[in-house]
Amino acid sequence: MQIQATFPRRPTRQVTVGDVAVGGGAPITVQSMTTTKTADVEGTLAQIYALAAAGADIVRCTCNEIEAAEGLAEIVPRSPVPIVADIHHQYRMALAALEANVACLRLNPGNIRRPEHIKTVAAECRDRGVPIRIGVNGGSLHPDLYARHGGRVTAEAMVESALDELAYFAEVDFDLVKISVKASSVPLMIDAYRQLAEVTDHPLHLGVTEAGPPPAGVVKSTAGIATLLAEGIGDTIRYSLTADPVTEARAGRTLLESLGLRERKNVDLIACPSCGRAEVDVFKIAEEALEAFGEREIPLQVAVMGCVVNGPGEARDADLGIAAGRGRGHLFVKGQNVAVVPEDEMVEALVSWAELICAEGVEAALARADVDRASREAERDRTVLLNTQGDDANEVAARVDIVRRAATS
Ligand code: SF4
């Protein structure tokens, strides 16, 4: 069952990146960035397709040299998602990327500093109707700002950097803008976005920069991004991980789905943590199931549970699940037992029942099942397991007794 979000969204104006709306009540989008050389057109496109399949709505590619801009000219018309060009030091690369028909630019105000260059790019974007993300980064603040704020990166300095850039844009009447104020410190980034949300209604792109490799990078990014989303702040997100960018896209998509901010696209696999009652290697079955479902568009919650004693009850809200018992897998749909399969066919059975539910719906799947027989078999295995394992399969009482004796001897 997917819980719908109740978080209020901060009202923002809307910009469109290609055909993807950002802000103004549009669904929150997931972004990622390619790690290939942009001049490597085929390699970059392969990664863009993988990112789109993993849930990325918008993909950014670096445009650091003329070969990259030329690559963009070939990539943009063949990409399944809008492409953002990442511009750092050379404003001419921004102009070249616009000629390649990118859907958006990302400018770092700390790197392109001359007002005439900033305004030239903004005027060109205005004429073409192409938005810009002002991408402030705590690690590359303008030196003047850094000095003015006591030689430290502060939330106030990052917000000031974004507002300075907005002021240059306003001089040439350009306002198709998204903003990010990323830092590698989670508290600092949260503070900066909160302050920014107070002073502008431009859509905000959230991220913790240089979060590092998983799992810590995922935890840090989630801590920062989810905190802000729960406050209604944020219109598009990116996990910046030191990992295959597909991991970034999946993480972003999973976060939005788990907060109820996006419709589920792929399987939401839940699994019990396993314990002394487990009748199978739950970790292994869960991994195999994850792999079997892959990126398939099956928007169901699927449960893998280690025992039939407690599994079906604990996962009764899942659309579909399987619980192990005495060498067999007991399949259940919405808590209702539907079939019994040999243990080595558990994953295969999960996938085929998931496909059936997707194609025909829960009621049709239940109608096909021998519910009475499946329930009888499940109850029989459950009873046998309870009789052999007792109520205390984890042997907690015996362990407590041993602890007591050790403490008093
Ligand atoms: S009681 Fe069964 S379902 Fe619950 S954690 Fe243990 S093995 Fe998994």
Q: Is the CB of 275 under 6 A from ligand 1?
A: yes
Q: What is the mean pLDDT of residues 38-48?
A: 98
Does a structural domain hold residue 395? no
**Judgement on whether residues 116 and 248 belong to the same structural domain of the protein:** yes
Whether the CB-CB separation of 365 and 359 falls below 8 Å is answered with no
What tokens were used for 29?
A: 């989008």
Q: Whose CA is nearest to atom 5 of ligand 1?
A: 274
Position 295 scores a pLDDT of 82
- Asked whether the predicted pLDDT for residue 88 surpasses 60, the reply is yes
How many other C-beta atoms lie within 10 A of the C-beta of residue 404?
A: 10
Q: Is the CB of 305 under 6 A from ligand 1?
A: yes
CA–centroid distance, 181 to ligand 1, in Å, is: 43
What gap in Å lies between CA 56 and CA 223, rounded to an integer? 20
Does a structural domain hold residue 407? no
* Closest atom, ligand 1, to C-alpha of 276: 6
**Judgement on whether residues 30 and 129 belong to the same structural domain of the protein:** yes
Q: Is the CB of 60 under 6 A from ligand 1?
A: no
SS3 303: strand
What gap in Å lies between CA 237 and CA 233, rounded to an integer? 11
**Judgement on whether residues 194 and 277 belong to the same structural domain of the protein:** no
Domain count, the chain: 2
Q: Is the CB of 306 under 6 A from ligand 1?
A: yes
**Judgement on whether residues 235 and 300 belong to the same structural domain of the protein:** no
- What's the pTM? 0.87
**Judgement on whether residues 250 and 290 belong to the same structural domain of the protein:** no
Position 337 scores a pLDDT of 94
Does a structural domain hold residue 234? yes
Q: Note the pLDDT tens digit of each residue in 202-217.
A: 999 999 999 999 999 9
Does a structural domain hold residue 46? yes
Position 355 scores a pLDDT of 95
Confidence of residue 1 (pLDDT cuts 50, 70, 90): very low
Q: Is the CB of 272 under 6 A from ligand 1?
A: yes
Confidence of residue 4 (pLDDT cuts 50, 70, 90): low
CA–centroid distance, 376 to ligand 1, in Å, is: 20
Burial 217-238 (b: 16+ CB within 10 A, else e): bbebbbbbbbbbbebebbbbbb
**Judgement on whether residues 254 and 335 belong to the same structural domain of the protein:** no
Does a structural domain hold residue 85? yes
Q: Note the pLDDT tens digit of each residue in 111-157.
A: 998 999 999 999 999 999 999 999 999 888 988 898 999 999 999 99
Give the CATH number, domain containing residue 146: 3.20.20.20
**Judgement on whether residues 35 and 170 belong to the same structural domain of the protein:** yes
Q: Which residue segment(s) compose the domain that 334 sits in?
A: 268-389
**Judgement on whether residues 211 and 337 belong to the same structural domain of the protein:** no
Last residue of a domain, one of 223, 258, 293: 258
Helix, strand, coil percentages, rounded to 5, for the chain: 45, 20, 35
Last residue of a domain, one of 213, 234, 258: 258
Question: For a pLDDT cut of 70, what percent of the chain falls above it?
Answer: 99
**Judgement on whether residues 190 and 275 belong to the same structural domain of the protein:** no
* Closest atom, ligand 1, to C-alpha of 315: 3
Q: Is the CB of 325 under 6 A from ligand 1?
A: no
CA–centroid distance, 400 to ligand 1, in Å, is: 20
CA–centroid distance, 382 to ligand 1, in Å, is: 12
Question: For a pLDDT cut of 90, what percent of the chain falls above it?
Answer: 84
CA–centroid distance, 264 to ligand 1, in Å, is: 26
The DSSP line for 94-149 is: HHHHHHTT-SEEEE-TTT---HHHHHHHHHHHHHHT--EEEEEEGGG--HHHHHHT
What gap in Å lies between CA 212 and CA 192, rounded to an integer? 20
CA–centroid distance, 318 to ligand 1, in Å, is: 15
**Judgement on whether residues 174 and 316 belong to the same structural domain of the protein:** no
**Judgement on whether residues 202 and 307 belong to the same structural domain of the protein:** no
Q: Is the CB of 311 under 6 A from ligand 1?
A: yes
Give the CATH number, domain containing residue 310: 3.30.413.10
Position 5 scores a pLDDT of 58
What gap in Å lies between CA 182 and CA 192, rounded to an integer? 8
Does a structural domain hold residue 401? no
